[in-house]
Amino acid sequence: MSLRDQISEIIETEPVALFMKGTPSFVACGNSQRALTALRTAGAPVTAVDILPDPRFRQELSALSGWPTIPQVFVKGELVGGADIVEELAATGELERKLTDALGEGFGDAREERVIALAAA
Amino acid sequence: MDAGHTTEPRGIEIGGYDGDVATESLQKLLNEAFPDATELFVVDRTGGGDHFQVTVTSPRFEGLSLVDQHRLVYDALAAPLSDGTIHELRIKTKGTA
């Protein structure tokens, strides 16, 4: 599968996708940490994707989303934003509402945090 | 004002060590993109001229999602984002209602 198809599939199929620098157990950037912390606080079932292993990961993601910076958070295929927006939405409680609307009550119960690795074509 | 002196992108230094110059050039791009902003400022967060906090309050943001508000800021700063002048950008946007 092409890189772009892998990224689209993650965006479309994962309830909450976080494209970040590093992984939740080894975060490599303060802004990725801010987004992860906000998502965790809201109880989101995070699927994390590390964009650092290959510069093409980030290029393809930004080409697809039209969003120039990392991190990027998607809920059910929709771009929710980067660290600033996710943090702001978490602070106002709107993030939890959005998660409930998109994923239903008990959105956090189903799954643990997980990591998907992209494969360079 | 600087109208008429804009053929050279004054003061944009690649790798920008001059934080003030970089801040000023971002401010100028944003002023052009949001002429009706009621609040608009750029802060060099680290003094290194590449980590910025941008705050914009504008009637143009009314009715737009935060994603679309931030997209307008990214559009205004597309050049310094793509040439590496901006290493990190924090954005705070608000409508005026």
Domain ranges of chain B: 19-94
Give me the torsion for CA of A101, A103, A104, A106, rounded to 10°: -130
Beta strands at A72-75 and A78-81: parallel, antiparallel or unpaired = antiparallel
* pLDDT for residue B8 is more than 50: no
- Going by pLDDT thresholds of 50, 70 and 90, the confidence category of residue A110 is low
What is the residue-averaged pLDDT of chain B?
Answer: 85
> Which residues in chain B are closer than 8 Å to A77, comparing Cβ atoms?
none
- The pLDDT value recorded for residue A106 is 87
Task: Report long-range pairs for A23-30 (Cβ below 8 Å, ≥24 apart).
Answer: A23/A48, A23/A50, A23/A115, A24/A48, A24/A113, A24/A115, A28/A52, A29/A70, A29/A71
Higher-confidence residue: B48 or B26?
A: B26
Task: For residue B91, list chain A residues with Cβ-Cβ distance below 8 A.
Answer: 84
Q: Read off φ and ψ for residue B45, nearest 5 degrees.
A: -70, -30
Checking if the pLDDT of B13 tops 50, the result is no
CB contact under 8 A, B67 and A84: no
Q: In CATH terms, is domain A3-116 a member of 3.40.30.10? A: yes
DSSP A94-112: HHHHHHHHHH-TTTTTS--
Count of residues making up chain A:
121
Domain boundaries, chain A: 3-116
Query: What 8-state DSSP symbol labels residue B47?
Result: S
Helices then strands (H, E): number in chain A? 5, 7
Rounded Cα distance, A18 and A16, in Å: 7
**pLDDT of res. A111:** 66
Task: Give the predicted TM-score (pTM) of the model.
Answer: 0.88
**Residue range A7-21: mean pLDDT, rounded:** 97
3 state DSSP class of B7: coil
Cβ <8 Å between B90 and A69: no
Pairwise CB contact (< 8 Å): A82 & B81: no
If you measure CA to CA, which chain A residue comes closest to B81? Answer: A68
Q: Which fold is adopted by the domain B19-94?
A: GMP Synthetase; Chain A, domain 3 (3.30.300)
Interface touch A85/B70, C-beta < 8 Å: yes
Identify each DSSP E strand in B1-97 by its residue range.
39-44, 51-57, 88-94
B50 near A CB under 8 A:
no
Residues 6+ apart with CB under 8 A from B28: B2
What local confidence, expressed as pLDDT, does residue A15 receive?
95
| pLDDT, greater one: B12 or B73 | B73
What's the gap between Cα A60 and its chain centre?
15
Q: Report pLDDT for A121.
A: 61
Percent of chain B with pLDDT over 90: 67
CA distance B15 to chain A (A): 18
Per-residue model confidence (pLDDT) at position A45: 95
| A3, pLDDT greater than 70 | yes
Pairwise pLDDT comparison (B21 vs B32), residue with the higher score: B32
Which stretches of A1-99 are assigned E, i.e. beta strand? 16-20, 22-23, 26-27, 46-50, 72-75, 78-81
Q: Where does the pLDDT of residue B11 fall: very low under 50, low under 70, confident under 90, or very high at 90 and above? A: very low
**pLDDT for A20-79, tens place per residue?**
999 999 999 999 999 999 999 999 999 999 999 999 999 999 999 999 999 999 999 999
